[in-house]
Each structure stands twice: as structure tokens, then as C-alpha cells.
């Protein structure tokens, strides 16, 4: 399935207890705009060329930590500069470019903050909700993000509320089967605490917990305001 830019046309959602929206149609990922949806997942499958390109990038760039403010006009140039212009890697660069375009169009943004990382351990090992408006996440290679439906979370146990206990011991969720997990290739929009009217309902998620050694190729796209907030820097042209 080719990546298309979604419109904001609304359809009747398949709501998972007012938490998650799941679709095979990239046009419907815009259901994240619904008040009672805090994660919208396009359940796409990666084709073999993208998987091969991702595996090659992990092999050649085992310490990859790409962090760039990008726009639809320069993303291809940045990707080619980083990874080269071979036919195989252009497939990967074009996929990222299309996702950037989708995110910019969906939220009417001129620029976004893109991060692409090679990971061999959990970046965020504890369940948490982010203080952001909305974040796009996708995993090209390796295990993908885990999350909890809104009605399965005892939010009093987030952060210091866990009293030093693990997620499983704290009472944050009832049983391990409550934990849901994205698949490689899935594109998810995670609604955070800063989305207007979503305070106390940001999607609770964490890095995957997997046994043994593994490598992930993981991408996030954020609003530029988060970049500015973190680095306390003023970028010309914004």
C-alpha cells in the first residue's frame, strides 16, 4: 500500500473504549482529531524493500541518532545526505518523506522535528504520558512501542505514584494482557497531555520490553515547539 496524505474527512470510528482507533486506511489516521481517541494507528505492513533498507541502515549506522528540524521541501535532501542515493536507500528516504508530508498536512505545519534512532535498549522503560500535543511514532526494524488503553490505566500510579515499584507491581494496570503493542511498520499518532482538552487522557505508553539482545530502527515526528522547548533555542525562520 502506498502512503497517501490523509484528509480530515471524518468517518464513524471503531473505538476501543474511547481510547484507540485502528485502520488499514492511511486516510483515516486523522481520527486522532476525535475527542475520545487518544491513539490512532494505521496498521500498515512494510514491504521487503523497506525492511531490507532498514536492516542495512542499522548495520551501517549502529549508533544512529538523527535529529533534524525538517520540512516537506528539504526532507529528501537531508535523507540523501545522511544515507546516500542508492536505489534501495532512496526507497527508505522516500517513505520518510511521505510520512513527514502526511504529518505536516494533517496538522497544518510548515516544519517538524524528526528523530531517527538505532536503539538496543528501552529509551523509555516505564509507562508514561507525554506532555506534547501529538507525536507520530513508527518502528522500521525490531520490537515496537507498547501502550495501554485509557480504561486499563490507574493514572495515580504513573510517575512518583508507583512508589518505587515496577509497572507490573505498582497497580498501574491489572494484568500483562492489558498491554498492547504496535507492530513494525505501524504508524501511530499518540495524543499527549498538551492537546487541548486532553489533560489526564494522554496515551500511556513505553518502549518495548523484550528478552535478549535486539536492535530497533525507530522514528518519531513532533511539533517544532517541543524542540524549541527542550533546547531553549530560537531558530530563524519559524
**CATH code of the domain covering residue 171:** 2.60.120
3 domain-assigned? no
Tens of pLDDT along 60-104?
999 999 999 999 999 999 999 999 889 889 999 999 999 999 999
7 domain-assigned? no
Kindly report the pTM of this predicted structure: 0.88
| Bridge partner list, 190 | 39, 135
How would you classify the pairing of strands 20-23 and 39-42? Answer: parallel
- pLDDT (0 to 100) of residue 112: 97
156 domain-assigned? yes
Structural domains counted in the chain: 1
**Cα 177 to Cα 198: distance, rounded to the nearest angstrom:** 25
**Cα 201 to Cα 2: distance, rounded to the nearest angstrom:** 32
- pLDDT (0 to 100) of residue 59: 94
- pLDDT (0 to 100) of residue 135: 97
6 domain-assigned? no
5 domain-assigned? no
Give the domain range for residue 210.
Answer: 15-231
Tens of pLDDT along 97-146?
999 999 999 999 999 999 999 998 878 889 999 999 999 999 999 999 99
CB hemisphere CA count around 52 (13 angstroms): 9
- pLDDT (0 to 100) of residue 229: 81
Residue count of the chain: 238
Rounded to an integer, the average pLDDT of 3-10 is: 42
- pLDDT (0 to 100) of residue 233: 52
Please write down the long-range contacts of 52-56, taking CB distance under 8 Å and 24 or more positions apart.
52/88, 53/88, 53/89, 53/91, 53/92, 54/92, 54/140, 54/141, 54/217, 55/141, 56/88, 56/89
Tens of pLDDT along 211-236?
778 899 999 999 998 888 887 654 44
Tens of pLDDT along 161-203?
999 999 999 999 999 999 999 999 999 999 999 999 999 999 9
Tens of pLDDT along 10-68?
333 343 445 699 999 999 999 999 999 999 999 999 999 999 999 999 999 999 999 99
- pLDDT (0 to 100) of residue 76: 92
Amino acid at each position: 500500500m502506498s502512503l497517501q496524505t490523509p484528509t480530515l474527512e471524518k468517518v464513524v470510528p471503531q473505538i476501543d473504549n474511547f481510547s484507540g482507533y485502528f485502520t488499514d486506511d492511511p486516510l483515516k489516521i486523522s481520527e486522532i482529531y476525535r475527542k475520545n481517541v487518544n491513539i490512532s494507528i494505521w496498521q500498515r505492513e512494510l514491504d521487503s524493500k523497506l525492511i531490507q533498507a532498514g536492516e542495512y541502515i542499522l548495520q551501517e549506522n549502529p549508533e544512529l541518532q538523527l535529529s533534524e528540524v525538517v520540512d516537506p521541501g528539504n526532507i529528501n535532501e537531508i535523507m540523501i545526505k545522511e544515507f546516500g542515493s542508492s536505489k534501495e536507500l532512496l526507497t527508505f528516504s522516500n517513505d520518510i518523506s511521505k510520512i513527514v508530508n502526511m504529518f505536516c498536512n494533517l496538522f497544518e505545519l510548515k516544519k517538524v522535528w524528526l528523530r531517527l534512532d538505532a536503539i538496543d535498549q528501552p529509551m523509555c522503560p516505564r509507562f508514561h504520558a507525554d506532555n506534547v500535543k501529538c507525536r507520530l511514532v513508527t518502528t522500521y526494524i525490531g520490537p515496537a512501542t507498547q501502550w495501554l488503553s485509557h480504561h486499563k490505566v490507574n493514572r495515580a500510579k504513573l510517575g512518583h505514584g508507583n512508589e518505587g515499584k515496577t509497572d507490573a507491581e505498582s497497580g498501574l494496570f491489572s494484568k500483562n494482557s492489558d498491554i498492547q503493542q504496535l507492530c513494525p511498520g505501524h504508524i501511530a499518532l499518540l495524543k499527549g497531555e498538551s492537546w487541548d482538552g486532553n489533560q489526564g487522557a494522554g496515551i500511556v505508553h513505553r518502549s518495548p520490553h523484550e528478552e535478549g539482545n535486539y536492535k530497533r530502527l525507530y522514528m518519531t515526528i513532533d511539533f517544532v515547539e517541543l524542540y524549541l522547548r527542550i533546547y531553549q533555542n530560537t531558530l530563524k525562520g519559524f
